Amino acid sequence: MLAVVSSIFGGIVALVGYQYFVKKNEFTSIESMQRASFANFSDTSAIAVPAGLNFIHAAELTTPAVVHIKTTYMPETTRPKTRDEELFRYFYGDPYENYNQPREASGSGVIVTGGGYIVTNNHVVDKASKIQVVLNDKRTYDAKLIGTDPTTDLALIKIEGENLPFVVYGNSDQVRIGEWVLAVGNPFNLTSTVTAGIISAKTRSINILRDKDNMAIESFLQTDAVVNPGNSGGALVNLRGELIGINTAIASPTGAYAGYSFAVPVSLVKKVIDDIMNYGQVQRGLLGVVIQDMTPALAKEKTIDFISGVYVSAVNQGSAADLGGIKEGDIVTKINDINIGATTQLQEVVARYRPGDKLKVKYVRKGKELETSVTLKNKLGDMAIVAKDDNSVKTKLGADLQPVSGGEMSVLEISGGAKVAKLFSGKLKEAGVREGFIITSIDKKPVSSPEDVVRILESTTNGGILMEGIYPNGKKEFYGIGW
Active-site amino acid positions: 123, 153, 232
Close Cβ partners of 171 (under 8 Å, ≥ 6 residues apart) = 242, 244, 266, 267
Is 123 labelled a binding residue?
yes
Q: How many CB atoms lie within 10 A of CB 456?
A: 19
Residues 474-477: contacts with CB within 8 Å, 24+ apart?
A: 474/412, 477/437
∠ CA 386-387-393, rounded to 5°? 65
Task: Let me know: does 146 contact 276? Beta carbons within 8 Å.
Answer: yes
Rounded Cα distance, 263 and 110, in Å = 13
Residues in the chain: 483
Q: What are phi and psi of 13, to 5 degrees?
A: -60, -40
DSSP state string for 354-419: -TT-EEEEEEEETTEEEEEEEE-B-TTSS-PPPPTT---HHHHHTEEEEEPPHHHHHHHT-S--EE
Task: Let me know: does 316 contact 286? Beta carbons within 8 Å.
Answer: no
Rounded Cα distance, 76 and 64, in Å = 35
How far, CA to CA in Å, does 22 sit from each of 13, 18, 25? Answer: 13, 5, 6
DSSP state string for 117-153: EEEE-HHHHTT-SEEEEE-TTS-EEE-EEEEEETTTT
Task: Let me know: does 259 contact 123? Beta carbons within 8 Å.
Answer: no
**Which stretch of DSSP H or E encloses residue 12?**
helix 2-17
Rounded Cα distance, 417 and 215, in Å = 27
Whole-angstrom Cα Rg for the chain: 33
Is 57 labelled a binding residue?
no
Rounded Cα distance, 324 and 314, in Å = 14
DSSP state string for 170-189: --GGG--TT-EEEEEE-GGG
Which alpha helices (DSSP H) does 74-135 contain, by range? 83-92, 122-125
3-class SS at 226? Answer: coil
- In eight-state DSSP terms, residue 420 is E
**Which stretch of DSSP H or E encloses residue 440?**
strand 438-442
Provide, for the chain, the percentages of residues in helix, strand and coil under a 3-state DSSP scheme, each rounded to the nearest 5.
25, 30, 45
Rounded Cα distance, 244 and 236, in Å = 6
**Which parts are annotated binding residues for substrate?**
123, 153, 230-232
**Which parts are annotated binding residues?**
123, 153, 230-232
